[in-house]
Structure 1
């Protein structure tokens, strides 16, 4: 039962990739896949995630269950931009990963267009802390892993005095609000244009940093 947050390692990239798929395949975002990725595609996707460990602005963490032999049950990735960036640097960070045979390229492009446009328009080049990804395996929902992984980014925002930003699903919004994020924009993805049955609504949310108590 005891959960712990640890730094993600190279050896964890494949499991992170699998958890990401399992977390989203039953949602509207799951339309980005035409079918379950092959073992080869999972392995290549894992390699594509290695940037999360090599980029100096990126910070990736895992939440493990120590009673299950440190099984990974959730993963988060943050980017911290303490200084103003150039637009070239912004665009470099918005390059999508390579496409794989199981991807529905048109759906993935449509979904990411809304996400990336929100980042351009709302965060632009200014300093901030962004939650790039937070995924929990469906078998381990409501155990507190998401909140534990959020705390690192919250602490960074407060210690650096930086604005926090994320795009969250409607289902995840209550957790983010609990940690002080406020919804200011809806990002609409109409899956009906691609054979789906509903409209996906992601929420662009920000959190103002809280001043640390003075030591005086």
Structure 2
């Protein structure tokens, strides 16, 4: 468990989606934002685009079964807060980090089987499941469409190749606000998320930045491939690299 006793991890609620979005936007300022908002000045999208991102997070929570978690920091009690009898003087916990997890699993059968000797259920996904799950979303007004499409096509094609038809969890995003680095928030979010993964007995997959790789390795992720996207092809200023990592399935022993 995380050594910081002031950190708490729980599910993100729809009304907290904007806070998560702002943390993600700040954390991605020097890399992913260059892809998502390539045509925006300093890669800063419009308020309407940020609002659309917030709405997509809310939709993921409410309608798509995507797991968003948050890490909040509760300030340790001080003499002033202990002696104060007014709850209105206590500041609410601050969300300092968040994660997004997707469970890629087989689609349920479209019709119940009525055969007296039904075929055994398979735990594998189908090619149709992959086609449904690995679609390229619509770009934002600030996106370079060609760069956007190549980015998502790259990520989707590698998932197809590495994971095949097996069900798995994917850690889509793990972000900590830069003002709260080195407090253990990322570790706390990983511990909670991987507990869910292990309860299902599934593999876990992610695309890691150079900075994030050591943390993931401590949690049992193994590098399986190196990929990159050269943004200079579309007028950008760098090539961004990722390490594809996979964590073998484990059974929860608790």
Common fold by TM > 0.5: yes
Contact 1:87 1:124 in 2 (8 A): no
Q: Which residue of 1 aligns with 2:113?
A: none
1:22 aligns with 2:26: yes
2:183 counterpart SS class: coil
Q: Distance in 2 between matches of 1:81 and 1:164?
A: 10
- How far residue 59 of structure 1 moved from its aligned partner, in angstroms, is 1.3
Q: Distance in 2 between matches of 1:150 and 1:44?
A: 27
Q: Which residue of 2 aligns with 1:31?
A: 34
Q: Which residue of 2 aligns with 1:51?
A: 59
Name the structure where strand makes up a greater proportion of residues. 1
Q: Which residue of 2 aligns with 1:197?
A: 237
Q: Which residue of 2 aligns with 1:69?
A: 92
TM-score normalised per structure 1: 0.88
- How far residue 56 of structure 1 moved from its aligned partner, in angstroms, is 5.8
2:157 counterpart SS class: helix
Contact 2:7 2:71 in 1 (8 A): yes
Q: Distance in 2 between matches of 1:81 and 1:108?
A: 22
Q: Which residue of 2 aligns with 1:125?
A: 165
1:99 to 135, 139, 157: 139
**Residue deviations 1:108-157 (CA, integer Å, cap 9, x gap):** 22222211111111123211121121111122122111111111232233
- How far residue 94 of structure 1 moved from its aligned partner, in angstroms, is 2.4
Q: Distance in 2 between matches of 1:58 and 1:30?
A: 21
1:63 counterpart SS class: strand
Q: How many residues align?
A: 213
1:209 counterpart SS class: coil
CA separation of 1:155 and 1:139: change in aligned 2, threshold 3 A? same
Unpaired runs of 5+ residues, structure 1, are none
Q: Distance in 2 between matches of 1:210 and 1:124?
A: 19
- How far residue 180 of structure 1 moved from its aligned partner, in angstroms, is 0.6
Q: Distance in 2 between matches of 1:154 and 1:10?
A: 22
Q: Distance in 2 between matches of 1:15 and 1:212?
A: 32
Contact 1:52 1:77 in 2 (8 A): no
Q: Distance in 2 between matches of 1:42 and 1:100?
A: 10
Q: Distance in 1 between matches of 2:65 and 2:125?
A: 12
2:16 to 12, 18, 34: 12
Unpaired runs of 5+ residues, structure 2, are 76-90, 106-122
1:50 counterpart SS class: helix
Contact 2:201 2:252 in 1 (8 A): no
